[in-house]
Structure 1
């Protein structure tokens, strides 16, 4: 799984979905990762698809579960979904396809 680093909320964060966190994401969203990605890529997603993708990827990127929850509450919940939709889509894109511009090594 390829990490994605970008500014989110209060600073730069690394986002990565590990196999265990993909399982958690699937449980939270009630679908396989491919279906979640398909919903996001086609813009036919549920709020949990966005929120849980970001939360799980923050944990995979090294943020504690408690801090990941705090970041979601502060910077995702109650905000327009379009503000975080692109981040969730980028996380799933990197998870499924790697980083083609870096030869899948970052």
Structure 2
């Protein structure tokens, strides 16, 4: 399967970032939120999320795409924790990050990539 689970570049906080949650990040998310990734996704999708669901998903998504963990934490403190009035917007980002990571991006076709047929000498 060729799905990367990485979001396209998104404008968030102070810049443009990609987000991804690999196995390690999903495991950490599960521990931090005391729920499996699909449960966290269901909470985000149904507006029954907890603040840890939002902040942890975004922070780990940044780390999973290569942002230094200290920078990711600083971004969360500045643009999530210090701005409770933006929680609904950040919850939407968290939902998109988690959904892309475990389901795939909409532009990524499911299944194995199609292989080109090798040309025969007679073609």
Task: Return the TM-score normalized by structure 1.
Answer: 0.92
Structure 1 unaligned blocks of 5 or more: none
- Bigger fraction of residues in strand: 1
- CA RMSD, 1 decimal: 1.4
Q: How many residue pairs end up in the alignment?
A: 105
User: For the residues of structure 1 that align with 2:72 and 2:82, how far apart are their CA atoms?
Assistant: 16
Tell me the TM-score normalised to structure 2 length: 0.80
Moved over 6 A (4+): none
From 67, 70, 86, the equivalent of 2:71 is 67
Whose helix fraction is larger, Structure 1's or Structure 2's? 1
Match runs of 1:14-93 below 5 Å: 14-79=18-83, 80=85, 81-93=87-99
Structure of higher CA gyration radius: 2
What runs of 5+ residues in structure 2 fail to find an aligned partner? 114-123
Structure 1 distance, partners of 2:17, 2:106, is: 20
